[in-house]
Structure 1
Amino acid sequence: MLVDIAVIGNGPTARLATHALCECGADVVMIGPDVDRSADPRTTALMPSSVDALDQLGIDVRTRATPLLDLRIETTGPFGIVSELFTAADAGEAFLAQNLFIRDLMAVMPDVRQHKATVTGVRTSADSVRIETDDGREVRARLVVAADGLQSLAREAAGIRMRKKPLGRSAFCVPVRLERPHERLCIERYDDTGTLTLIPVAEHDASLITIAAPDEIAALATHSDETIERKLTRRQDTFGHIGFAGQKAIFPLALGFTPQPARERVIVIGESAHIAPPIAAQGWNMSVRDIMTLKSLLATATANGDDIGSQEVLDAYAPRRQLDVAGRLSAIGALAGVATRPAGPQKLIRQAGLAAIGQFSGLKRGLMRAGLR
């Protein structure tokens, strides 16, 4: 099989990229095994800019999503509890984010051409990339878009290097059921343990993320579910009892970045290109920006009759994305250093910073707009 573009992966990033790049007039196929996501408990929060981008592609997530209208940030410290409310109106937006289950995100995306197989090998050459699959077939493409995650086989085959920086923190994530309705309020709490965030979805459900030192998270995980639920509810009881509604996940936090995201007719996007911890909800929103940038680049190249996989075309991608990616990852890293550590100086910085934001409405609006767009 010979195609213009092969997108490797089977998640929302790969599906969206395949759909978007078809609009460039290219022959595009997504390669990855079929996965049943009907029971997937994960959610993703889409910023207004991402919702706008999906609208441009004919995808309306609002039919399945929960709009997040308010965000309350709380931090404990030498001044007791300092709290500040951020609203969509503060940023001049209709919502702060649209939060929905991954299964619902996949459901609202159009069907795309897919070769349902696992990639077993990727071989680059001067004029094409050969992709081998476990069903014995081979796909040749002028360009490969790697959306196959952290352990990207295509990224490694092209010799694209990812720089990783461990943050010395771990996250405990679990879907939860709340005793009382959340009324579209997201809460982030910074306390003596670390952080605890509740991101609403549906009416009584939420995604819970707590970040702390690895030994703290490991110790928490040794308890029964009932004990963990009680501990988490004591830390954040705004919505009453917190009960688990799905599978727990624990993972170390790191930042990752590919200085040269395109070479050898392979371009990496999403988690294949950058790793962001679940802080400030930037992960999949950066993936959407990757896709929209690539779509614009390839549309221009196609209109000009250029070889879409040539290094001349691919060299234009990094300058359009790397400044944004590096800036957001730097901000997330700085926030993680201050927000997730319970030591005295960090507590003071958090409280003083939050109080200052509350005093200066212009600063507050500016920070919100930068984060949401």
Structure 2
Amino acid sequence: MDKPGDNRILHLMTQTSDILIVGGGLNGPVLALALAQTGHSVTVVDALPQDTRAAANFDGRGYALALASQRMLAQIGLWNALAEHAQPMNEIKVTDGQVGQGPSPFFLHFDHSEIETGPMGYMVEDRYLRRALLSALEKNENITVLNERRVVAQTTSLDHVEVTLDTGDTLQARLLIGADGRRSGTAQRAGIKRTGWDYNQTALVCAIEHELPHQGIAHQFFMPAGPLAILPLTGNRASIVWSEHSQTAQDIQALDDAGYLNALRPRFGDFLGDIKLAGDRFTYPLGLTVANSFVAQRIALVGDAAHGMHPIAGQGLNAGLRDVAALAEVVTEATRRGEDLGSPLVLDRYQQWRRFDTATLVAATDVFNKLFSNNNPLLRLGRDLGMGLVNAMPGVRRNFMREAAGLTGDLPKLLRGQEI
């Protein structure tokens, strides 16, 4: 494995492993750890330098991990390094309203005490999650990580897949995993098409410090231009994911920090006292994109390479980790039965497991965004009354909480906190 600061070029000629993962973000390394834990040899190809991934400074980014995702990270040995930096999400409050007018009197309030499973999830900063992943990868003898390498070609045959790197070296494996994002080169080279559309919305992402304690409460405030998520971090800090029409977002991002805060304050309100920026500011264009197939010959896609959705429910990373858990289980069980882990029969099990769940989640986020990101008075009345009705029905409310915690559906073993 390349060490931090080591820029040597490795001349590999041809290296062979059971599984090759393209993409060193989050889903790829988690999958590598899950597969290595069950005895598979794994190679991860990452386009970025390792020291970029390992940066210790706080840049404002954080992730909302559902309870099921936290259980998975614990099962593959990551949670001990993350627990002290993780902020439990004990409550979620969902409201509707307009800028400067405050929230509607109708709302949804989820309290973790109603489902008796602990917090509904945890907020973890990007820097801690990435460093925990890098450390675990480095210590695992079944995993080889190639940093600053790009795949430029791939070919598949009946019994293996081969990729060519930008160094000219080649790698062989029995299965190739694309964990390389919404513009997945792995999917493109395999001829997998995508379906989707642009929302003409952009997410403004930052972190803030605030005067008053957040009490572990996550807020989702729906406004006509898009939702504002206020997600608790450790201390008196919160992660902000703020959706606006793309041109408005571009104009806001171009402001200096003072102007940016002046745009945020009437949307945020004063319930946490005065606020100031902590870390960097980012923007992400929002759209829906789903691969028409999650598999091809000796190839499987996970995470954003398979599906990218609106962050309205904070399910992007959690959906990717569901892919990872399902694929790790399917591949491991196939190996134990003596099957070819890259065969069409094996990969079809993965696709069948994840395809319907993903389609349902993508459709739900799309509908919710269209329903809430508008100022139609009839739709506003209907959704406000709907939230009030759900909030008044404990059984229905608990079902929504279990969904938010990632505890519903046909869960892979890792998401239940069990060994494969």
The two structures have a TM-score, normalised by structure 2, of: 0.84
Question: Matches of residues 205-284 of structure 1 in structure 2 within 5 Å?
Answer: 205-236=237-268, 237-284=270-317
Call closer, same or farther: CA 1:91–1:349 in 2, change over 3 Å.
Answer: farther
Q: Is the 8 A contact 2:216 2:232 kept in 1?
A: yes
Q: What's the CA shift string for 1:307-344, capped at 9, x where partnerless?
A: 11122221221111111111111111111112222332
Q: After the TM superposition, which of the residue ranges 341-350 and 7-16 deviates more from structure 2?
A: 341-350
Corresponding position of 2:65: 46
1:327 to 351, 356, 360: 360
Question: Matches of residues 284-303 of structure 1 in structure 2 within 5 Å?
Answer: 284-303=317-336
2:123 to 99, 106, 120: 99
Call closer, same or farther: CA 1:357–1:129 in 2, change over 3 Å.
Answer: same
Q: After the TM superposition, which of the residue ranges 245-254 and 9-18 deviates more from structure 2?
A: 245-254
How far apart, in 1, do the equivalents of 2:295 and 2:153 lie?
15
Q: After the TM superposition, which of the residue ranges 4-13 and 167-176 deviates more from structure 2?
A: 167-176
How far apart, in 1, do the equivalents of 2:257 and 2:232 lie?
21
Call closer, same or farther: CA 1:97–1:122 in 2, change over 3 Å.
Answer: same
Cα shift at 1:193: 4.6
Q: What's the CA shift string for 1:116-158, capped at 9, x where partnerless?
A: 2322313222132222223332111111111111221111111
Corresponding position of 2:6: none
How far apart, in 2, do the equivalents of 1:302 and 1:169 lie?
44
Cα shift at 1:192: 4.8
Corresponding position of 1:363: 396
Q: Which amino acid aligns with 2:351?
A: A
How far apart, in 2, do the equivalents of 1:175 and 1:48 lie?
22
Q: After the TM superposition, which of the residue ranges 289-298 and 51-60 deviates more from structure 2?
A: 51-60
1:341 to 374, 381, 385: 374
Q: What's the CA shift string for 1:282-322, capped at 9, x where partnerless?
A: 01111111111111111121112221112222122111111
Corresponding position of 1:26: 40
How far apart, in 2, do the equivalents of 1:145 and 1:330 lie?
25
Corresponding position of 1:119: 150
Q: Is the 8 A contact 2:208 2:278 kept in 1?
A: yes
How far apart, in 1, do the equivalents of 2:372 and 2:29 lie?
34
Q: After the TM superposition, which of the residue ranges 280-289 and 81-90 deviates more from structure 2?
A: 81-90
Cα shift at 1:99: 0.6
Gaps of at least 5 residues in structure 2 are 1-14, 138-142, 407-420
- Are 1:179 and 2:200 matched, yes or no? no
How far apart, in 2, do the equivalents of 1:223 and 1:303 lie?
57
How far apart, in 2, do the equivalents of 1:87 and 1:359 lie?
13
Q: What's the CA shift string for 1:18-41, capped at 9, x where partnerless?
A: 111113322111111334232343
Q: After the TM superposition, which of the residue ranges 10-19 and 83-92 deviates more from structure 2?
A: 83-92
Question: Percent same amino acid among aligned pairs?
Answer: 24
Corresponding position of 1:7: 21
Gaps of at least 5 residues in structure 1 are none
How far apart, in 1, do the equivalents of 2:319 and 2:104 lie?
35
How far apart, in 2, do the equivalents of 1:276 and 1:168 lie?
13
Q: Is the 8 A contact 1:31 1:119 kept in 2?
A: yes
How far apart, in 2, do the equivalents of 1:193 and 1:322 lie?
30
How far apart, in 1, do the equivalents of 2:31 and 2:225 lie?
39
How far apart, in 2, do the equivalents of 1:254 and 1:326 lie?
15
Cα shift at 1:175: 1.8
Q: Which amino acid aligns with 1:238?
A: F
How far apart, in 1, do the equivalents of 2:193 and 2:37 lie?
30
Q: Which amino acid aligns with 2:331?
A: L
Corresponding position of 2:161: 129
Q: Is the 8 A contact 1:122 1:129 kept in 2?
A: no
SS of 1:308 mapped into structure 2:
coil
Cα shift at 1:275: 0.1
Corresponding position of 1:161: 193
Q: After the TM superposition, which of the residue ranges 124-133 and 79-88 deviates more from structure 2?
A: 79-88
Q: Is the 8 A contact 2:201 2:245 kept in 1?
A: yes
Corresponding position of 1:304: 337
Cα shift at 1:98: 0.8
Q: Is the 8 A contact 1:62 1:98 kept in 2?
A: no
Q: Is the 8 A contact 1:233 1:240 kept in 2?
A: no
Corresponding position of 2:9: none
SS of 1:93 mapped into structure 2:
coil
How far apart, in 1, do the equivalents of 2:271 and 2:164 lie?
52
Q: What's the CA shift string for 1:22-73, capped at 9, x where partnerless?
A: 1332211111133423234311111111112222222214232111111122
Q: After the TM superposition, which of the residue ranges 285-294 and 83-92 deviates more from structure 2?
A: 83-92
Q: Which amino acid aligns with 2:62?
A: T
Q: Is the 8 A contact 1:146 1:272 kept in 2?
A: yes
Cα RMSD (Å): 2.0
2:96 to 60, 69, 75: 75
